[in-house]
Amino acid sequence: MSSPRSNTADDLVQLGRPDRFDGRHVNMPLELGSTIVFDTLAAFEAARDARYETGTMYYGRYGNDASFKLETMLAELEGADNVTLTSSGVAAITMALMSFVSPGAHLLVADHVYGNTRVFCDGVLTRMGVQVSYFDPMIGAGVADLIRDTTCAIMFEAPGSGTFEVPDVPAITGAARAAGVPTILDGTWATPIFCQPLALGVDVVIASMSKYLSGHSDCMLGMIACTADHTAVIRKTTFAFGDKTGGQEVFLALRGLRTLKMRMEHFDKAGRDMAAWFAQQPQVKTVLHPAFDTCPGHAHWARDFSGAAGLFGVVFHPCSDEQVRAFVDALNHFGIGVSWGGYESLVLPVTPQRSAGTWDEDGQLVRFNIGLEAPDTLKADLAAALPHLKTAAE
């Protein structure tokens, strides 16, 4: 287990840069390329034999100086032994899962996972003979009762995608470690600024870097951070599949990361401000923001996280589809779209999918991503559109 770091602000400035600065640029160059050439066969063979290791230049698909810099920087931020970059957040999920599953093995997946995690588990892993079962993410240490002899991994999120309930991460990882089962956590929401899941006993953290880590809605990338026992299998699996990040995405991620801490600090403050404002509106039934006690698992968030992202859910009093459409369409400062974590505000109605349980909130769930606009601008925009929805009294 790794301990949380305290000098993240310095790391974000100092890491991921050239080793020498004598008359060089501040940043790593944009690095593109396929073949890497060697002067001797012996040097080529040494690189080939070490090709799975971060830092060994062998062939473009295995990485280059800039991508290794990014991997090393992220590993430091996560307190991880190693980070493997992937072409998207979904690729990080699928490569992490493929590192542990085999035909006949049992995989435990939290019921609140990101939609494409479910698509991969039900559509691909099931076809390959993996036995996937879903569990209530709020079960905590009770997950121990669901672990079978054949359980190969536990996949979950903190907080859940779309519904924002925060599981008891140490309770789940404690039960998993006692049974010798690795845990994989999708930590996209919090980023290492607000939570370092490896310090909570998680074995593998994945994140979509298309969100906050790159932070400007201009690139798609993913990462898998892990403890030392899992580094080899994750890198070998990812490279065996040929998953590969582009040089431009690496460049953009290195640039985006420089401002990660100040962006997250803004989203923490602005997100809470907006969520508190929503809670006062007569059309709002409840606010699903982990920093508010109306959100299931709020106490877990308060214990394990040092801040909140700017993505949260609002449940509106029951109303018609047409009313929701009219409300969303009337907003001028919230783009309608998937993804989040850029500089711009977004809105998206959400229908949670459940198979282990049911999602019982009576009302319409809408997800908001708060961007860098002035909160007063966003509030005025929302206030003008809210009359399209019903209040409790109507």
Question: Where along the sequence are the contacts to ligand PLP (CB under 6 A)?
Answer: 88-90, 114, 161, 186, 188, 208, 210-211, 220, 222, 339
Residue 46 has, within 13 A of its CA and on its CB side, a CA count of 8
| Strand duo 204-208 + 183-186: pairing | parallel
Spell out the residues 6+ positions from residue 370 whose beta carbon is closer than 8 angstroms to its own.
267, 270, 271, 274, 310, 311, 312, 345, 378
- Please identify which of the residues 186, 203, 268, 304 carries the catalytic annotation: 186
Active site residue 186: yes
Class of residue 164 by CB neighbours under 10 A (exposed 0-12, middle 13-18, buried 19+): buried
- Ordered DSSP codes for 285-304: EEEE-TTSTTSTTHHHHHHH
Residue nearer to ligand PLP on the CB measure, 193 or 220: 220
The residue nearest ligand PLP at its CB is 89
Active site residue 211: yes
Residue nearer to ligand PLP on the CB measure, 104 or 337: 337
CB of 226 closer than 8 Å to CB of 204:
yes
- Please identify which of the residues 24, 61, 303, 325 carries the catalytic annotation: 61
Q: Nearest distance from residue 186's CB to ligand PLP, in Å?
A: 5
Active site residue 118: no
Residue nearer to ligand PLP on the CB measure, 58 or 135: 135
Residue nearer to ligand PLP on the CB measure, 152 or 348: 348
Q: Nearest distance from residue 161's CB to ligand PLP, in Å?
A: 5
Q: Nearest distance from residue 117's CB to ligand PLP, in Å?
A: 7
CB of 210 closer than 8 Å to CB of 89:
yes
| Angle of CA points 155, 156, 157, to nearest 5° | 145
φ, ψ of residue 97 to 5 degrees: the values are -65, -45
Residue nearer to ligand PLP on the CB measure, 211 or 300: 211
Residue nearer to ligand PLP on the CB measure, 211 or 230: 211
Q: Nearest distance from residue 342's CB to ligand PLP, in Å?
A: 11
Active site residue 114: yes
Q: Nearest distance from residue 89's CB to ligand PLP, in Å?
A: 2
- Please identify which of the residues 211, 261, 263, 272 carries the catalytic annotation: 211
Q: Nearest distance from residue 208's CB to ligand PLP, in Å?
A: 3
Q: In whole angstroms, how large is the CA radius of gyration of the chain?
A: 22
CA 386 to the chain's CA centroid:
30
Q: Which is nearest to 58 in space by CA: 217, 187, 235, 224?
A: 235
CB of 87 closer than 8 Å to CB of 222:
yes
C-beta neighbour count of 393 within 10 angstroms: 6
Catalytic residues: 61, 114, 186, 211
